[in-house]
Amino acid sequence: MVIDNSFYMQLAIDEAWKYHILTYPNPAVGCCVVGENGEILAVEAHKKAGGPHAEVEALKSAYVKLSGDKKILDIFSSEDIHNYLKQNHNKLFENVKVYTTLEPCSHRGKTPSCADLLSFLGVKKVYIGSKDTNPVASCGEDMLLKAGVETQSGILQRECENLIISFGSWSKGHFVFFKWAQTFNAKVDGGVISSKQSRTVVHKMRGVCDLLVIGGNTVRIDRPTLDARLAEAKAPDILIISKQKEFDLSIPLFGVENRNVFIDDSFDILKKYNNIMIEGGEAMFELSKKFVDIYLCFIAPKFGGEVGFEKTDDKFEILNIQKESQDIMVWMKKEVI
């Protein structure tokens, strides 16, 4: 293993993927802070919209290691973390390097500017994966350079840009991802497949999605609720793709409060939503493929089931692989031929 700039940036990328989708409508961003002898001081990510950005979370964790001061651990507001670090940094960051998957923000929005904080702390160098194309938040690198902070852009740029495909899509209109769970032998039936921890992650995703799309046969057979109860979050609206419009209204998904349920044989309503999740098997995969930006598969370490993806022959590029409890979690996009 080579310990170089790509190694540290990859740590930041992997951390950011853990919160992909969950930061909606913000991009998922990761950050790694490295000490003067190459030691890893922190690897953190932006976790949810309105919360501290990845750089702030990482600087907070690194500060504890460098100073031994744990008071900051009780501070959760981004504004308060900024102020605490500015008042107590004692030049601890002068020999520190920061690796961030996205150019530090230059503006004050719901949280203060990360580029301003990095400049104030006097970090030695900032390595940037991808440039921020949002005109409101861009030019953070320019701020750093003007403050005398060294920078280097383009570290694992393609991998960092893959991380913000979702942000680019929902910023322009809408983003659609397709999720399914399968066994080792690629079967998708036979009851609950993935672990409770994996299902909790899915519920967190549902909690930030505007719309969840499901097939009519799945609704009739599984009689699902399709809410976000494991995350204690708001349930998304539902689109049931079905030519047959009659359903048993005692199926739990129809009884969830404060949600709209649509039944249609087209995907036209997707145009009215921003962050869209599709769940299903092969039939839904084939029906929805022209609308989907990226794919998410949970692979459970067991065999069983009878129904799988028998006719689909699409090829994928793997964007990220994680282990979620017992399961393997794979983010992919269609391979461009």
Pairing of strands 237-241, 327-334: unpaired
Q: How far apart are CA 272 and CA 210, in angstroms?
A: 10
φ and ψ at residue 140, rounded to 5 degrees = -65, -35
- Axis crossing angle, helix 54-67 with helix 5-17, rounded to the nearest 10: 120
Coil, strand or helix at 234: coil
Q: Measure the CA–CA gap between 152 and 126, rounded to whole angstroms.
A: 7
Asked if 188 contacts 305 with a C-beta cutoff of 8 angstroms, the reply is yes
296 near 331, Cβ under 8 Å? yes
Instruction: Check if the beta carbon of residue 117 is closer than 8 Å to that of residue 85.
Output: yes
Residue 176 to residue 264: CA distance in whole angstroms: 18
Helix (H, G, I), strand (E, B) or coil at 66: helix
Sheet holding 97-102, edge to edge: 40-45, 30-34, 97-102, 125-130, 150-153
> Does a cis peptide bond (omega within 30 degrees of 0) precede residue 25?
yes
Q: What angle do CA 278, 169, 264 make, to 5 degrees?
A: 35
Please, is 91 exposed, middle or buried when counting C-beta atoms within 10 Å of its C-beta (0-12, 13-18, 19+)?
Answer: exposed
The label of the residue with tokens 């998304």 reads 236
Neighbours of 291 (CB within 10 A): 14
Active site positions, annotated: 55
Tokens of 57: 């979370």
For residues 182 and 302, what is the distance between their CA atoms, to the nearest angstrom? 9
